[in-house]
């Protein structure tokens, strides 16, 4: 299991120390929110660029925005490994192509109430599928266990069609829920509140892994 701490729950007043505390993780997950697609705001390309210079971890950017096409070129400057957009957003096909044009792995995410069928047109274009295990936009929510059915369906589809994507989950991850994730076939788990509420984050990452 690969672990991607979510910087959204870090203390930004001491960001360098916070990033150092999770440097043994596999990715750094950045939640970008526009206040429209989800009822919250986070940060933009400038802060992302600063973070990219402060950490050696590969960036995993999750755009919770209505019009991701407008933002790809700006976020691409930070050279992330992944940029993930939502299947519920605008211009999905065009946006995925632009991400790939920047030599970045494209990802697609699905909200809890969206059927897995919505992802089907894009499965051969992405390298990451992010299944939201909470409603996107807020930290500290409870894990929606029924989302593991989506994960299992994606594992089956990936095998049947010989596709090349990793399956990621985000929301409510802790030492109990990550067991369900592993059993279901998750490759990458995003952990926010659980990790950043710990004093020893490196031990927490190891425990989750």
Q: What is the pLDDT of residues 121-160, one digit of tens each?
A: 999 999 999 999 998 876 566 899 999 999 999 999 999 9
Catalytic residue among 31, 34, 60, 187: 31
pLDDT of res. 139:
59
pLDDT of res. 138:
63
CATH number for domain 2-208, candidates 1.10.10.10, 3.20.20.70, 3.50.50.60, 3.90.550.10: 3.20.20.70
Q: Is 14 helix (H, G, I), strand (E, B) or coil?
A: helix
- The mean pLDDT value for 19-34 works out to 96
Complete edge-to-edge strand list for the sheet that includes strand 28-33: 2-5, 188-191, 166-170, 128-132, 105-110, 82-86, 59-64, 28-33
Q: List pLDDT tens digits, range 82-112.
A: 999 999 999 999 999 999 999 999 999 999 9
Q: List pLDDT tens digits, range 71-89.
A: 999 999 999 999 999 999 9
- Tell me how far the alpha carbon of residue 204 is from its chain's centroid: 19
Closest to 56 in 3D by CA, of 79, 33, 83: 79
Catalytic residue among 26, 60, 170, 187: 170
Confidence check: pLDDT of 60 > 90: yes
* Catalytic (active site) residue 170: yes
* Catalytic (active site) residue 34: no
Q: List pLDDT tens digits, range 29-52.
A: 999 999 889 888 888 899 999 999
CA angle 125, 129, 134 (to 5 degrees): 150
**Has this prediction a pTM greater than 0.85?**
yes
pLDDT of res. 197:
92
Confidence check: pLDDT of 206 > 80: yes
- Output b/e per residue, 83-102; b: 16+ Cβ within 10 A: bbbbbbbeebeebbebbeee
């Amino acid at each position: 299991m690969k672990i991607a701490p979510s910087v959204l729950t870090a203390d930004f007043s001491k960001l360098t120390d916070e990033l150092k505390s999770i440097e043994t993780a596999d990715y750094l997950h950045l939640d970008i929110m526009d206040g429209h697609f989800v009822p919250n705001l986070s940060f933009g390309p400038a802060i992302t660029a600063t973070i990219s210079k402060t950490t050696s971890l590969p960036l995993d950017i999750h755009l919770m925005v209505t019009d991701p096409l407008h933002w790809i070129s700006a976020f691409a400057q930070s050279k992330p490994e992944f940029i993930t957009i939502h299947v519920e957003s605008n211009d999905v096909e065009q946006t995925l192509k632009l991400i790939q044009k920047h030599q970045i792995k494209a990802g697609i995410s699905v909200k809890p109430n969206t059927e897995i069928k919505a992802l089907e047109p894009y499965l051969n274009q992405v390298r990451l599928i992010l299944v939201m295990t909470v409603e996107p936009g807020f930290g500290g929510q409870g894990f929606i266990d029924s989302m593991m059915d989506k994960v299992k369906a994606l594992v089956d589809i990936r095998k049947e069609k010989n596709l090349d994507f990793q399956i990621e989950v985000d929301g409510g991850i802790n030492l109990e829920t990550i067991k369900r994730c592993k059993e279901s076939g998750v490759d990458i788990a995003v952990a926010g509140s659980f990790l950043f509420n710990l004093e020893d984050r490196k031990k927490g990452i190891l425990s989750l892994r």
